[in-house]
């Protein structure tokens, strides 16, 4: 029973992380530079 509970919690965290990544990508942010083109030397666009 404990394994099932931990599995559900881990799956929930994964879903939240993926949803956050999708939302960031739709808003123009990326994992590489975070959308701050001044910070990454203007390689974003």
CA 33 to chain centre: 13
Token output for 21: 């990544």
pLDDT by residue (tens digit) across 2-14?
999 999 999 999 9
Q: What is the pTM of this model?
A: 0.60
Distance in angstroms (rounded) separating the CA atoms of residues 23 and 30: 10
Residues 2, 7, 8, 10, CA torsion sign: positive
pLDDT by residue (tens digit) across 27-36?
766 666 555 5
């Amino acid at each position: 029973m404990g394994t099932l509970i931990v599995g559900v919690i881990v799956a929930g965290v994964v879903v939240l992380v993926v949803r956050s990544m999708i939302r960031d990508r739709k808003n123009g942010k990326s994992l590489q530079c975070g959308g701050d083109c001044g910070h990454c030397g203007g390689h974003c666009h």
